[in-house]
Amino acid sequence: MKIIIDTDPGQDDALTILLALASPEIDLLGVTTVSGNVGVEQATTNALKTVELAGRPDIPVHAGADRPLLRAPVNATHVHGRTGFEGADLPAPAVKPSPEHAVDFLIRTVMAHEPGAITVCAIGPMTNLALALSREPALRSRLGRIVTMSGAFSEVGNITPCAEFNIYVDPQAAAIVLESGVPITMLPLDVTHTLHTSAARLARIRAIPNRIGPVVADWLAFEKRFEATKYGTDGGPLHDPNTVLWLLRPDLYRGREVNVRVETGSELTMGMTVVDWWQITDLPRNVLFLRHCEVEAAYEVIIDRLGRL
């Protein structure tokens, strides 16, 4: 399957890219970056470091939106550290990002392929996708699917009491994407909070006999310090990799088609995903909303794939 990863790396974003590059089922056409966990310039540097770490400097990296559509930028350096890659010190990338803007790359690449051929994994704020859909409405019928780590239902929020970070950073962009008519799979906090990065699981990743395992373990150990303190655990939720994991093993996840809307008008609940789980309205079911995962099997996939790099 052909995919593009739209991202704001972030340690777990990097793991998502690595899983894609380790999987022969996936043809990663490129990485697009967006302001989110860190600013877009740092996110682009981190994406370049990741493809080089995987031995794939041929994967193009395209810098995208440097701020949300309407709101002031919000970052997550309190979780990921100043650079977004704290925990493992990687050398500066030797390759440079593509000069083509991420939005232009998204439009050009999707339009150059047959309808339905490309899936976008959106693991940061959806600013680039919203801009691309607005500039080229034909993408609405050309994109195969958007698989996004975003939103929440029973797990409510992780950046405000009722909003998940990726949606909160650019709720207007998320609303455009969710209303686009493109098939969407959403991996919300309801799933990611079950994939606990315990000390035992990180030890297994660290023991992978290549250079990738220790780097990923160090990254996640740093990133999850904040969440371990927050939740009173020995690790934290594993978020973004669920997108690629679902592409590889959809049988590990369960959910249902529902309507999901994004709150964009209230500062109190800004970025909240309103999930019509019980089909109370007659609004179109625009999202495959996943709430359950076979956790142990998912970690087996992660360990297996990282061992191939």
Residues marked as catalytic: 239
Place of tokens 């493809």: 51
Beta strands in the chain (DSSP E): 2-7, 27-33, 61-63, 118-122, 145-149, 184-187, 253-262, 273-276, 287-293
Pairwise CA distance, residues 293 & 237, whole Å: 13
Pairwise CA distance, residues 301 & 75, whole Å: 30
The helix, strand and coil proportions of the chain, stated in percent and rounded to the nearest 5, come to: 40, 20, 45
**Residue 17 in tokens:** 């890219």
Give residue 224's Cα distance to chain centre.
16
Instruction: Tell me which residue of 151, 206, 158 sits closest to 184, measured CA to CA.
Output: 151
| Residues paired with residue 32 on neighbouring β-strands, in sequence order | 6, 62
